[in-house]
Amino acid sequence: MKKFMKSLLLLMVFLLVFSTSAFAKSENAKPFLVALGDSIPYGYNLGQTNASPSQEAFPYLMGKEADLRVRNLGVPGATTEDLLDALKNDQKYRQAVRHSDYITLNIGNNDLLRALGRAAEESENDEKKFEYLLQKYINESGVFTNLQQIIMEIERLTDSPVIIYNIYNPFDKNDFKERELHVIAERILPGLNVINRMAIQFR
């Protein structure tokens, strides 16, 4: 009887170890999605706190839908310059991209936001001056050159497909203080996104 119980116990331990190992292997075998960008992939203000990326952010929703592991490297406030620097110098980013199966890229919104803010502040309600300053600050931000270099750096690290999202309108049309900027952004964003796509296509 003791021999039987000992054999049964060993069998149970074996099955437990085997099943745990198999489960871990199954989890690790899932395709790996890496989300790069700013507060949009981070899911800023979608959770109870902003201490970590929200599970309601779109990369996690994609992961649930497609049964993917997700590494969310979105950073609220990040610009194209910030992300480019991280991809070149931060091993956390470089290793994540190297091991990715899919990548989402949502960046450039804060570059535009800063350019719009500076132009609006300095133009003193002069529309022609505003448009001149806006173009000036967008060019100075290096957003399109940075985006080209971001794509090139990703391609040096992996051959995973990259999903690139358009620059969105960061201003709230229902907010009195932001309404005018929302209208301006709506006017210029289609052209900026065309340039954005061309910059990527001809990198």
- So where are the chain's domains? 31-201
pLDDT, one tens digit per residue, over 175-189 is 776 777 777 777 777
Q: What is the mean pLDDT of residues 32-51?
A: 94
SS3 readout for 65-131: HHCCEEEEEECCCCCHHHHHHHHHHCHHHHHHHHCCCEEEEECCHHHHHHHHHHHHHHHCCCHHHHH
The kind and range of the H/E element at 32 are: strand 32-37
* Residue of 74, 57, 69, 78 whose CA lies nearest to 99: 69
Most confident residue range from 8-12, 26-30, 147-151, 166-170: 147-151
Cut 0.85: pTM above it: no
Q: What are the structure tokens assigned to 173, written together? A: 């049309």
pLDDT for 127 equals 83
- Write the single-letter amino acid at 148: Q
Domain 31-201, second-level architecture: 3-Layer(aba) Sandwich (3.40)
pLDDT for 27 equals 55
pLDDT, one tens digit per residue, over 129-167 is 988 998 899 889 898 889 889 999 999 999 999 988 877
148: left (phi over 0), alpha (psi -120 to 50) or beta: alpha
* Residue of 135, 108, 111 whose CA lies nearest to 123: 135
Q: What is the mean pLDDT of residues 5-18?
A: 46
The answer to whether the Cα torsion of 171, 177, 180, 181 is positive or negative is negative
Q: What are the structure tokens assigned to 13, written together? A: 């331990």
pLDDT for 8 equals 40
Q: What's phi and psi for 144, nearest 5 deg?
A: -75, -40
